[in-house]
Amino acid sequence: MRAIYAQHGDAYRIWAPGRRSHTWVFNHPADVRRILISNHRNYTKGVGFDRIKMLLGNGIIVSEGDFWKRQRRMMQPTFHRRIIAQLDQFIARANDRLLAAWELKCAAGEPVNVTSDMSDMTLEIILRVIFGDDLEAMAAETGDNPFAVLTSDPARDLRFAYQFRKLTTMIGRWVARRRAAGGSPAGDHPDYLSMLINARDKDTGEGMSDREVVDEITTLIVAGHETTANALNWTWHLLSGNPEAEAKLHAEIDALPEEAVPTLQSMEAMRYANNVIREALRLYPPVWVISRRTIEADQLAGYTVPPDTDVFFSPYFVHRHPEFWTDAEKFQPERWEDDNEGRPRLAYVPFSAGAHHCIGETLALFEMLVHLNRFARRFRLRHVVDEPVGFEALINLRAARPFIMRLERRTSGT
Ligand code: HEM
């Protein structure tokens, strides 16, 4: 796509032999706006979601039409900031577990595998916010971490799908148990298992069936795990190569007292850290390509796109569009200080926009901010091998090799 983009720019179509049809690709914010907002009713989700359909049944990331609307309406309130703020303990706990492991590595002078550690930690967070204190009981019942396949097997192929579907049987048992026990959370904090069981459609008063709760739970695991893990992985990579930005981040963090359990409010107040994350998501958007399918014909970039046609846009290219970004290839968190420099809102879409906009944005940002706050306060990370990094552009934008990094201990102000 890079090569084609260099040749053809914002709009092109490409023959997909497997599907025996053209896929149209648009990377100008004006076209993204038309697809996601002004004419969004003319689009279904499209081919990009086919692969994950087999994993997620009819969860909201793949469902369409009235069913999607109903599920989104029920789930939206459970992602309200007031709820996300109450997940702070779960996020802090997972970070502290990793911190203890990194302290030992640092003392022993051993490098860490940032890629797998980000994956394990973000998995722990998403599982914890879903199952709350039932997570230990689930592990005890299966004798191991039943979700290990999500981090131990990086492939997202049929074999993975088979393993993953086995999890849904187990999740179904826990949904039924929790429902039978009255649907309250397993501990003192809200968790998604109970919130989804208790969610009601405000128009009809109906709730979700067990099957629907299972599909939404697997959806949240898949949508919330790898995305956040990759975003953090790329953030560490970018910080390690940009000591000036890193120093500014350190200065901001050092000026704040450390909280045992960082709150959403105090994390959102860290302006520079927020800008670091925004900028990392600009350069390496984990969801690097988004697909839709036309229902009727549509006009995009002056072309008539036929009905029933696959349409892609890529946050990766939109975010590096030379018309909207100065020094687009450079990591410059400062660019976010001047608000938007007059750029259209749809020039920045790491969480997409419009009706299907990521429901987990606030949670993801909260996780990332807590992590930076805890770890950049203590460590500077440097690649052990300083070679160029290639991409594995699968469902998520991954680095082609794991990031093995040295931990350099900081003392405040260094
Ligand atoms: C840095 C982390 C994340 C990124 C970059 C990200 C990105 C995205 C994007 C681009 C979409 C829209 C896809 C489209 O328009 O078709 C999306 C949808 C979604 N995301 Fe996220 N996401 C992240 C984290 C999360 C988390 C933590 C959760 C939940 C715990 C989550 C749950 C979802 C769900 C359920 C949808 C489907 C929404 C719908 O179609 O109604 N995401 N995400």
312: which strand partners?
A: 25, 291
Q: Is residue 354 part of a domain?
A: yes
Task: Return the pLDDT at 412.
Answer: 66
Q: For 85-120, how does the pLDDT look when each residue is reduced to its tens digit (9 = 90+)?
A: 999 999 999 999 999 999 999 999 999 999 999 999
Question: Cα(287) to centroid of ligand 1, in Å?
Answer: 8
Question: Cα(337) to centroid of ligand 1, in Å?
Answer: 25
Mean pLDDT of the chain: 93
Residue of 227, 282, 292 to mutate, ligand 1, most atoms within 8 A of C-beta: 227
Structure-token pair, residue 71: 């599920």
SS3 for 181?
A: coil
Is 61 a pocket residue for ligand 1 (Cβ < 6 Å)? yes
Question: Cα(261) to centroid of ligand 1, in Å?
Answer: 25
Q: Is residue 232 part of a domain?
A: yes
Is 229 a pocket residue for ligand 1 (Cβ < 6 Å)? no
Confidence of residue 321 (pLDDT cuts 50, 70, 90): very high
Nearest to 296 by CA among 40, 67, 47: 40
Confidence of residue 147 (pLDDT cuts 50, 70, 90): confident
Report the atom number in ligand 1 closest to the C-alpha of 292: 16
For residue 296, what is the domain's CATH number? 1.10.630.10
Residue 258 has pLDDT above 80, yes or no: yes
Residue whose CA is at the smallest distance from ligand 1 atom 20: 358
Q: Is residue 172 part of a domain?
A: yes
Q: For 263-291, how does the pLDDT look when each residue is reduced to its tens digit (9 = 90+)?
A: 999 999 999 999 999 999 999 999 999 99
What average pLDDT does the segment 283-305 reach?
A: 96
Burial 380-398 (b: 16+ CB within 10 A, else e): bbbbeeeeeeeeeeebbbb
Number of separate domains in the chain: 1
Task: Return the pLDDT at 161.
Answer: 78
Q: For 164-216, how does the pLDDT look when each residue is reduced to its tens digit (9 = 90+)?
A: 878 898 999 999 999 998 888 888 889 999 999 999 998 899 999 999 999 99
Q: Is residue 134 part of a domain?
A: yes
Q: Is residue 293 part of a domain?
A: yes
What average pLDDT does the segment 217-243 reach?
A: 96
Is 346 a pocket residue for ligand 1 (Cβ < 6 Å)? no
- Percentage above 70 pLDDT, the chain: 98
Is 284 a pocket residue for ligand 1 (Cβ < 6 Å)? no
Higher pLDDT, 140 or 155: 140
Residue whose CA is at the smallest distance from ligand 1 atom 43: 358
User: Which of 107-116, 149-158, 209-218, 227-236 shows the lowest per-residue confidence on average (mean pLDDT)?
Assistant: 149-158
Amino acid at the residue 4? I
Is 290 a pocket residue for ligand 1 (Cβ < 6 Å)? yes
Side-chain half-sphere of 134: how many Cα atoms within 13 Å? Answer: 23
Q: Is residue 42 part of a domain?
A: yes
Task: Return the pLDDT at 305.
Answer: 98
Q: Do residues 24 and 305 touch, judged by C-beta distance below 8 A? A: yes
Q: Is residue 414 part of a domain?
A: no
Task: Return the pLDDT at 413.
Answer: 65
Residue 414 has pLDDT above 80, yes or no: no
Question: Cα(59) to centroid of ligand 1, in Å?
Answer: 12
Task: Return the pLDDT at 378.
Answer: 97
Task: Return the pLDDT at 339.
Answer: 67
What average pLDDT does the segment 359-369 reach?
A: 98
Per-residue DSSP letter, 48 = G
Higher pLDDT, 100 or 140: 100
Is 364 a pocket residue for ligand 1 (Cβ < 6 Å)? yes
Residue 143 has pLDDT above 80, yes or no: no
Give the residue numbers spanning the domain of 45: 2-409
Q: Is residue 29 part of a domain?
A: yes
Residue 50 has pLDDT above 80, yes or no: no
